[in-house]
Chain A
Amino acid sequence: MIGDGFRREEKRQNDQIDLEISTMNALIIDDSLAMRRILGTIMTGLGFETFEAKDGAEGLAVFLEKADTIEVTLVDWNMPVMTGIEFVEEVRSKNEFDTHKLMMVTTETEPSRMARALMAGVDEFVMKPFTQEILVDKLKLIGVRMPSPAEA
Protein backbone atom coordinates (compact mmCIF):
# COMPACT_ATOMS: atom_id res chain seq x y z
CA MET A 1 0.00 0.00 0.00
CA ILE A 2 2.84 2.33 0.77
CA GLY A 3 4.21 1.49 -2.70
CA ASP A 4 0.91 2.50 -4.33
CA GLY A 5 0.96 5.80 -2.55
CA PHE A 6 4.54 6.39 -3.61
CA ARG A 7 3.70 5.59 -7.24
CA ARG A 8 0.68 7.91 -7.17
CA GLU A 9 2.87 10.71 -5.80
CA GLU A 10 5.52 9.96 -8.44
CA LYS A 11 2.85 10.10 -11.22
CA ARG A 12 1.50 13.36 -9.82
CA GLN A 13 4.97 14.83 -9.88
CA ASN A 14 5.53 13.60 -13.45
CA ASP A 15 2.21 15.13 -14.53
CA GLN A 16 3.28 18.38 -12.92
CA ILE A 17 6.58 18.29 -14.82
CA ASP A 18 4.73 17.57 -18.11
CA LEU A 19 2.44 20.52 -17.43
CA GLU A 20 5.38 22.80 -16.75
CA ILE A 21 7.17 21.69 -19.90
CA SER A 22 4.10 22.21 -22.07
CA THR A 23 3.55 25.74 -20.75
CA MET A 24 5.79 28.39 -22.29
CA ASN A 25 6.01 31.68 -20.49
CA ALA A 26 7.01 35.19 -21.44
CA LEU A 27 7.93 37.87 -18.93
CA ILE A 28 6.79 41.40 -19.84
CA ILE A 29 8.38 44.31 -17.98
CA ASP A 30 7.03 47.79 -18.73
CA ASP A 31 5.89 50.61 -16.46
CA SER A 32 2.94 51.27 -18.76
CA LEU A 33 -0.03 49.07 -18.02
CA ALA A 34 -1.35 49.78 -21.52
CA MET A 35 1.89 48.57 -23.12
CA ARG A 36 1.92 45.47 -20.90
CA ARG A 37 -1.60 44.77 -22.08
CA ILE A 38 -0.71 45.19 -25.77
CA LEU A 39 2.33 42.92 -25.46
CA GLY A 40 0.40 40.48 -23.28
CA THR A 41 -2.37 40.20 -25.84
CA ILE A 42 0.12 39.48 -28.63
CA MET A 43 2.10 36.94 -26.59
CA THR A 44 -1.04 35.22 -25.32
CA GLY A 45 -2.26 35.04 -28.91
CA LEU A 46 0.96 33.26 -29.79
CA GLY A 47 0.25 30.70 -27.09
CA PHE A 48 2.45 32.00 -24.29
CA GLU A 49 1.44 32.39 -20.70
CA THR A 50 2.65 35.75 -19.44
CA PHE A 51 4.07 37.20 -16.26
CA GLU A 52 4.05 40.97 -15.87
CA ALA A 53 6.12 43.45 -13.90
CA LYS A 54 5.96 47.24 -13.76
CA ASP A 55 9.68 47.98 -13.33
CA GLY A 56 13.06 46.28 -13.50
CA ALA A 57 13.21 45.42 -9.81
CA GLU A 58 9.80 43.75 -9.82
CA GLY A 59 10.74 42.05 -13.08
CA LEU A 60 13.98 40.76 -11.61
CA ALA A 61 12.14 39.23 -8.67
CA VAL A 62 9.72 37.45 -11.00
CA PHE A 63 12.55 36.41 -13.28
CA LEU A 64 14.66 34.88 -10.51
CA GLU A 65 11.67 32.93 -9.23
CA LYS A 66 10.39 31.71 -12.61
CA ALA A 67 13.49 31.76 -14.83
CA ASP A 68 13.32 28.04 -15.65
CA THR A 69 9.89 28.46 -17.19
CA ILE A 70 10.45 31.73 -19.06
CA GLU A 71 11.20 31.42 -22.78
CA VAL A 72 11.72 35.12 -23.44
CA THR A 73 11.70 38.40 -21.54
CA LEU A 74 10.40 41.59 -23.16
CA VAL A 75 11.68 44.62 -21.30
CA ASP A 76 11.23 48.39 -21.66
CA TRP A 77 14.20 50.72 -21.10
CA ASN A 78 12.85 53.77 -19.25
CA MET A 79 11.19 52.70 -16.03
CA PRO A 80 11.22 53.94 -12.45
CA VAL A 81 13.01 52.08 -9.63
CA MET A 82 15.17 49.93 -11.93
CA THR A 83 15.57 50.61 -15.64
CA GLY A 84 15.46 47.95 -18.30
CA ILE A 85 19.17 48.18 -18.95
CA GLU A 86 19.89 47.67 -15.23
CA PHE A 87 17.61 44.63 -15.32
CA VAL A 88 19.53 43.23 -18.29
CA GLU A 89 22.87 43.81 -16.56
CA GLU A 90 21.61 42.03 -13.43
CA VAL A 91 20.39 39.03 -15.40
CA ARG A 92 23.53 38.75 -17.51
CA SER A 93 25.77 39.05 -14.45
CA LYS A 94 24.65 35.52 -13.52
CA ASN A 95 26.27 32.79 -15.59
CA GLU A 96 23.23 30.52 -15.49
CA PHE A 97 21.23 33.10 -17.49
CA ASP A 98 23.80 33.58 -20.25
CA THR A 99 21.51 32.19 -22.92
CA HIS A 100 18.18 33.50 -21.70
CA LYS A 101 16.49 35.46 -24.49
CA LEU A 102 16.16 39.15 -23.69
CA MET A 103 14.42 41.57 -26.02
CA MET A 104 14.11 45.30 -25.43
CA VAL A 105 10.82 46.86 -26.50
CA THR A 106 11.59 50.53 -26.32
CA THR A 107 11.76 53.95 -27.91
CA GLU A 108 15.48 54.13 -27.03
CA THR A 109 16.93 53.24 -30.41
CA GLU A 110 19.75 55.68 -31.07
CA PRO A 111 22.88 53.81 -32.19
CA SER A 112 24.73 54.71 -28.99
CA ARG A 113 21.89 53.36 -26.84
CA MET A 114 21.61 50.22 -28.90
CA ALA A 115 25.33 49.64 -28.60
CA ARG A 116 25.15 50.00 -24.84
CA ALA A 117 22.24 47.59 -24.60
CA LEU A 118 23.91 45.03 -26.86
CA MET A 119 27.05 45.20 -24.73
CA ALA A 120 24.89 44.64 -21.66
CA GLY A 121 23.55 41.47 -23.24
CA VAL A 122 20.31 42.30 -25.03
CA ASP A 123 19.58 39.87 -27.88
CA GLU A 124 17.32 42.09 -29.99
CA PHE A 125 15.34 45.34 -30.10
CA VAL A 126 11.79 46.11 -31.00
CA MET A 127 11.21 49.80 -31.52
CA LYS A 128 7.96 51.35 -30.35
CA PRO A 129 5.64 51.70 -32.16
CA PHE A 130 5.65 48.17 -33.54
CA THR A 131 3.26 45.80 -35.22
CA GLN A 132 2.56 42.21 -34.23
CA GLU A 133 4.35 41.06 -37.40
CA ILE A 134 7.52 42.91 -36.42
CA LEU A 135 7.44 41.50 -32.91
CA VAL A 136 6.96 37.94 -34.18
CA ASP A 137 9.75 38.32 -36.74
CA LYS A 138 12.14 39.50 -34.03
CA LEU A 139 11.14 36.68 -31.69
CA LYS A 140 11.88 34.17 -34.44
CA LEU A 141 15.14 35.93 -35.26
CA ILE A 142 16.52 35.23 -31.80
CA GLY A 143 15.23 31.67 -31.79
CA VAL A 144 12.29 31.99 -29.44
CA ARG A 145 10.28 28.78 -29.61
CA MET A 146 6.62 29.37 -30.40
CA PRO A 147 4.03 27.39 -28.44
CA SER A 148 1.67 27.48 -31.42
CA PRO A 149 2.15 28.39 -35.08
CA ALA A 150 2.66 32.15 -35.29
CA GLU A 151 1.23 34.19 -38.11
CA ALA A 152 4.08 35.90 -39.90
Chain B
Amino acid sequence: MPLSAIDQQPGNETSTLCIGPEEVSRMANDLFSAMLGMPFNPEPQESTDLSSREVQATIRISGDWDAEFHVLASYELAGHIAADMFGTSASELSKDEILDALGEIVNVIGGNAKGIVDQDCNLSLPCVGRFLGELPASALTLDFDLDGRQLTIAMLEK
Protein backbone atom coordinates (compact mmCIF):
# COMPACT_ATOMS: atom_id res chain seq x y z
CA MET B 1 0.00 0.00 0.00
CA PRO B 2 1.48 3.38 -0.90
CA LEU B 3 2.43 5.60 2.00
CA SER B 4 -0.01 8.42 2.47
CA ALA B 5 1.05 11.74 3.91
CA ILE B 6 -2.09 11.77 5.96
CA ASP B 7 -1.10 8.44 7.53
CA GLN B 8 1.54 10.33 9.50
CA GLN B 9 4.08 7.57 9.07
CA PRO B 10 6.97 9.04 7.12
CA GLY B 11 9.69 6.50 6.63
CA ASN B 12 11.73 4.57 4.18
CA GLU B 13 8.87 2.60 2.69
CA THR B 14 8.69 4.67 -0.49
CA SER B 15 12.09 6.29 -0.46
CA THR B 16 13.20 4.61 -3.65
CA LEU B 17 10.15 5.65 -5.66
CA CYS B 18 10.27 8.52 -8.11
CA ILE B 19 7.55 11.10 -7.95
CA GLY B 20 5.02 10.31 -10.63
CA PRO B 21 1.36 11.05 -11.32
CA GLU B 22 0.24 8.58 -8.65
CA GLU B 23 2.23 10.28 -5.91
CA VAL B 24 1.16 13.76 -7.00
CA SER B 25 -2.45 12.63 -7.07
CA ARG B 26 -2.22 11.07 -3.62
CA MET B 27 -0.53 14.10 -2.09
CA ALA B 28 -3.16 16.40 -3.56
CA ASN B 29 -5.94 14.12 -2.39
CA ASP B 30 -4.55 14.04 1.14
CA LEU B 31 -4.43 17.80 1.15
CA PHE B 32 -7.71 18.73 -0.45
CA SER B 33 -9.96 15.85 0.60
CA ALA B 34 -8.62 14.75 3.97
CA MET B 35 -7.37 18.02 5.41
CA LEU B 36 -9.54 20.66 3.78
CA GLY B 37 -12.60 18.51 3.13
CA MET B 38 -12.99 19.81 -0.42
CA PRO B 39 -14.51 17.66 -3.20
CA PHE B 40 -11.42 16.52 -5.09
CA ASN B 41 -11.19 13.96 -7.87
CA PRO B 42 -7.79 12.27 -7.54
CA GLU B 43 -7.99 10.93 -11.07
CA PRO B 44 -5.91 13.26 -13.27
CA GLN B 45 -7.81 14.52 -16.29
CA GLU B 46 -6.71 15.19 -19.81
CA SER B 47 -4.53 18.25 -19.69
CA THR B 48 -6.46 21.16 -21.10
CA ASP B 49 -5.13 24.47 -22.21
CA LEU B 50 -3.91 26.64 -19.39
CA SER B 51 -5.50 29.87 -20.53
CA SER B 52 -7.93 29.96 -17.62
CA ARG B 53 -5.12 29.73 -15.06
CA GLU B 54 -4.37 33.14 -13.63
CA VAL B 55 -2.31 32.57 -10.50
CA GLN B 56 0.66 30.36 -9.81
CA ALA B 57 2.46 29.14 -6.70
CA THR B 58 5.93 27.66 -7.08
CA ILE B 59 8.34 25.93 -4.74
CA ARG B 60 11.83 24.65 -5.43
CA ILE B 61 13.66 21.68 -4.01
CA SER B 62 17.41 21.76 -4.32
CA GLY B 63 20.19 19.41 -3.29
CA ASP B 64 20.59 15.75 -4.17
CA TRP B 65 17.19 16.00 -5.84
CA ASP B 66 16.36 19.16 -7.80
CA ALA B 67 12.77 19.81 -8.71
CA GLU B 68 10.11 22.46 -8.94
CA PHE B 69 6.42 22.19 -8.17
CA HIS B 70 3.84 24.58 -9.57
CA VAL B 71 0.19 24.89 -8.65
CA LEU B 72 -1.94 26.82 -11.13
CA ALA B 73 -5.50 27.97 -10.74
CA SER B 74 -7.96 30.61 -11.83
CA TYR B 75 -8.16 33.48 -9.38
CA GLU B 76 -11.70 32.35 -8.60
CA LEU B 77 -10.52 28.85 -7.65
CA ALA B 78 -7.63 30.24 -5.62
CA GLY B 79 -10.19 32.34 -3.75
CA HIS B 80 -12.36 29.26 -3.24
CA ILE B 81 -9.42 27.33 -1.76
CA ALA B 82 -8.45 30.27 0.45
CA ALA B 83 -12.04 30.68 1.63
CA ASP B 84 -12.02 27.06 2.75
CA MET B 85 -8.71 27.45 4.55
CA PHE B 86 -9.68 30.72 6.21
CA GLY B 87 -13.19 29.56 7.01
CA THR B 88 -14.82 32.55 5.37
CA SER B 89 -16.15 33.65 1.98
CA ALA B 90 -13.74 34.53 -0.81
CA SER B 91 -15.23 38.01 -1.09
CA GLU B 92 -13.97 38.80 2.41
CA LEU B 93 -10.39 37.87 1.59
CA SER B 94 -7.65 40.13 0.30
CA LYS B 95 -5.50 39.26 -2.69
CA ASP B 96 -2.57 38.65 -0.31
CA GLU B 97 -4.61 36.17 1.72
CA ILE B 98 -5.69 34.32 -1.42
CA LEU B 99 -2.13 34.08 -2.70
CA ASP B 100 -0.88 33.08 0.76
CA ALA B 101 -3.27 30.14 0.76
CA LEU B 102 -2.09 28.99 -2.68
CA GLY B 103 1.49 29.29 -1.46
CA GLU B 104 0.72 26.98 1.44
CA ILE B 105 -0.81 24.47 -0.98
CA VAL B 106 2.38 24.22 -3.03
CA ASN B 107 4.45 24.21 0.17
CA VAL B 108 2.64 21.12 1.43
CA ILE B 109 2.87 19.33 -1.93
CA GLY B 110 6.56 20.15 -2.37
CA GLY B 111 7.34 19.19 1.21
CA ASN B 112 5.54 15.88 0.89
CA ALA B 113 7.37 15.11 -2.35
CA LYS B 114 10.67 15.89 -0.68
CA GLY B 115 9.73 13.53 2.14
CA ILE B 116 8.88 10.72 -0.29
CA VAL B 117 12.14 11.07 -2.21
CA ASP B 118 14.09 11.31 1.07
CA GLN B 119 17.25 12.78 -0.40
CA ASP B 120 19.45 15.41 1.18
CA CYS B 121 17.80 18.54 -0.15
CA ASN B 122 16.19 21.80 0.90
CA LEU B 123 12.78 23.24 0.32
CA SER B 124 12.53 26.88 -0.68
CA LEU B 125 9.86 29.22 0.58
CA PRO B 126 6.87 29.31 -1.77
CA CYS B 127 6.66 32.00 -4.40
CA VAL B 128 3.26 33.19 -5.61
CA GLY B 129 2.07 35.53 -8.32
CA ARG B 130 0.38 35.88 -11.67
CA PHE B 131 0.66 32.92 -14.05
CA LEU B 132 2.54 34.03 -17.11
CA GLY B 133 0.88 31.50 -19.40
CA GLU B 134 3.57 28.90 -19.89
CA LEU B 135 5.16 25.91 -18.21
CA PRO B 136 8.31 24.13 -19.37
CA ALA B 137 7.42 21.50 -21.97
CA SER B 138 9.25 18.83 -19.97
CA ALA B 139 7.14 19.37 -16.86
CA LEU B 140 4.80 16.62 -15.68
CA THR B 141 1.52 18.50 -15.86
CA LEU B 142 -1.63 17.14 -14.27
CA ASP B 143 -5.09 18.65 -14.22
CA PHE B 144 -7.48 17.78 -11.43
CA ASP B 145 -11.11 18.53 -10.74
CA LEU B 146 -11.40 20.43 -7.47
CA ASP B 147 -14.99 21.17 -6.58
CA GLY B 148 -15.94 21.47 -10.24
CA ARG B 149 -13.01 23.67 -11.16
CA GLN B 150 -9.72 22.93 -12.86
CA LEU B 151 -6.53 22.86 -10.80
CA THR B 152 -3.15 22.17 -12.38
CA ILE B 153 -0.17 20.68 -10.56
CA ALA B 154 3.09 20.57 -12.49
CA MET B 155 6.40 19.05 -11.51
CA LEU B 156 9.70 19.66 -13.20
CA GLU B 157 12.67 17.48 -12.25
CA LYS B 158 16.02 18.98 -13.12
Contacts and interface: CB of A to CB of B under 8 A. Distances in A.
Interface of A: 31-35, 37-38, 41, 78-80, 106-112, 114, 126-131, 134
Given A32-B104, A34-B97, A34-B104, A128 B111 contact: yes
A37 B85 contact: yes
Q: Which of B36, B108, B110 neighbours the largest number of chain A CB atoms within 10 Å of its CB?
A: B108
Nearest to B11: A111
A129 B6 contact: yes
Nearest to B105: A34
Q: State the main secondary structure of chain B at its contact with A.
A: helix
B111 A107 contact: yes
Interface residues of B, number: 32
B100 A32 contact: yes
A78 B107 contact: yes
Interface string B11-45: 11000000000000000001100111000000000
Given A107-B115, A114-B10, A37 B87 contact: yes
A129 B12 contact: no
A15 B125 CA distance: 45
Given A34-B82, A110-B118, A129-B30, 16 more contacts: A31-B125, A32-B101, A33-B100, A34-B101, A78-B107, A78-B111, A78-B125, A107-B107, A107-B111, A108-B114, A110-B10, A111-B11, A128-B5, A128-B112, A129-B31, A130-B35
B35 to A, nearest CB: 4
B107 A129 contact: no
Interface string B93-127: 00011001101100110111011001010010100
23 contacts: A31-B125, A32-B104, A34-B100, A34-B101, A35-B85, A37-B86, A38-B85, A78-B111, A78-B123, A106-B111, A107-B123, A109-B10, A111-B10, A114-B10, A127-B5, A128-B107, A128-B108, A128-B111, A129-B34, A129-B36, A130-B8, A130-B35, A134-B8
